[in-house]
Structure 1
Amino acid sequence: MVKFTKNVAVALVVLAMSASTASSQSTDYVLNTASTGGTYHPVGTAISTLSKIKLLPTEKFSLTAVNSAGSGANVQALGAGTADFAILQGLYGSYAATGTGPISAPQPNIRSITMLWQNVEQFLLSNEYVNTGTVGDLVAVKGMAIGMGKQNSGTLGSNTVLMGGLGVDIDSDYDLVFAGYGPTVDALANGQAVGAGMPSGPPTGAITKLMASNEGKFTILNVTAEQATAMDGGRKLWVPYTIAAGTYPGQTSDVSTIAQPNFLAVNESVDEEHVYLLTKALYENLGFLQAIHPATNAMAIEKSVGGLPVPLHAGALRYYLEMGLDIPADLIAAE
Structure 2
Amino acid sequence: MMGKIPRRGMFAAGLVLAAPRVLRAQGSQQLAIATGTTGGVYYPLGGALANLISRQIPGMSATVEVTGGSVGNLQLLGAGRVGLIFSQVDAAVDAVRGNDRFRGRPVPARAIAVIYTNRMQAVTVASTGIKSIPDLRGKRISTGAPGSATEVMALRLLEAAGLDPAKDFRARERLSPAESTNAVKDGKLDAYMFVSGVPTSAITDLGASPGVQLQMIDHDQYTAKIVEKYGPVYFNEVIPAGTYPGQTTDNKQMSVANVLAVREDMPAEMVTRLIRIAWEGREDLARTHAEARNFKLEGQKTAAAGIPWHPAAEAFWRETGANLG
Partner secondary structure for residue 172 of structure 1: coil
Query: Does the 8 A contact of 2:238 with 2:253 survive in 1?
Result: yes
Query: Does the 8 A contact of 1:275 with 1:315 survive in 2?
Result: yes
Partner secondary structure for residue 121 of structure 1: strand
Residue 64 of structure 1 aligns with an amino acid whose one-letter code is: A
- Which of 50, 53, 57 is equivalent to 2:52? 50
Q: Give the Cα–Cα distance (whole angstroms) in 1 for the partners of residues 291 and 77 of structure 2.
A: 24
Structure 2 unaligned spans of 5+: 1-23
2:267 equivalent to 1:268: no
Q: Give the Cα–Cα distance (whole angstroms) in 2 for the partners of residues 181 and 291 of structure 1.
A: 27
| CA distance 1:86–1:143, change in 2 (3 Å) | closer
Q: Give the Cα–Cα distance (whole angstroms) in 2 for the partners of residues 275 and 312 of structure 1.
A: 11
Residue 247 of structure 1 aligns with an amino acid whose one-letter code is: T
Residue 167 of structure 2 aligns with an amino acid whose one-letter code is: S
2:141 equivalent to 1:147: yes
Query: Does the 8 A contact of 2:141 with 2:169 survive in 1?
Result: no
In structure 2, what is the equivalent of residue 287 of structure 1? Answer: 283
In structure 1, what is the equivalent of residue 168 of structure 2? Answer: 173
In structure 2, what is the equivalent of residue 258 of structure 1? Answer: 254
What pairs with 1:61-100 in structure 2 (closer than 5 Å)? 62=60, 64-67=62-65, 69-70=67-68, 71-100=70-99
What TM-score do the two structures reach when normalised by structure 1? 0.68
Identity of aligned residues (%): 21
Q: Give the Cα–Cα distance (whole angstroms) in 2 for the partners of residues 293 and 157 of structure 1.
A: 25
Q: Give the Cα–Cα distance (whole angstroms) in 2 for the partners of residues 196 and 172 of structure 1.
A: 17
How many residues align? The count is 288
2:216 equivalent to 1:241: no
What TM-score do the two structures reach when normalised by structure 2? 0.70
Larger radius of gyration: 1
Q: Give a deviation string over 1:224-255, Cα, whole Å, max 9, x none.
A: 3x522323443433343321122234544432
In structure 1, what is the equivalent of residue 318 of structure 2? Answer: 321
Q: Give the Cα–Cα distance (whole angstroms) in 2 for the partners of residues 62 and 90 of structure 1.
A: 28
Q: CA deviation at 1:145?
A: 0.7
| CA distance 1:143–1:240, change in 2 (3 Å) | closer
Query: Does the 8 A contact of 2:37 with 2:67 survive in 1?
Result: no
Which structure has greater strand proportion? 2
Q: CA deviation at 1:52?
A: 3.9
Query: Does the 8 A contact of 1:115 with 1:304 survive in 2?
Result: yes
Q: CA deviation at 1:287?
A: 1.6
2:98 equivalent to 1:103: no
Q: CA deviation at 1:92?
A: 3.1
Q: CA RMSD in A?
A: 3.7
Structure 1 unaligned spans of 5+: 1-22, 131-136, 329-335
| CA distance 1:230–1:77, change in 2 (3 Å) | same
Query: Does the 8 A contact of 1:96 with 1:105 survive in 2?
Result: no
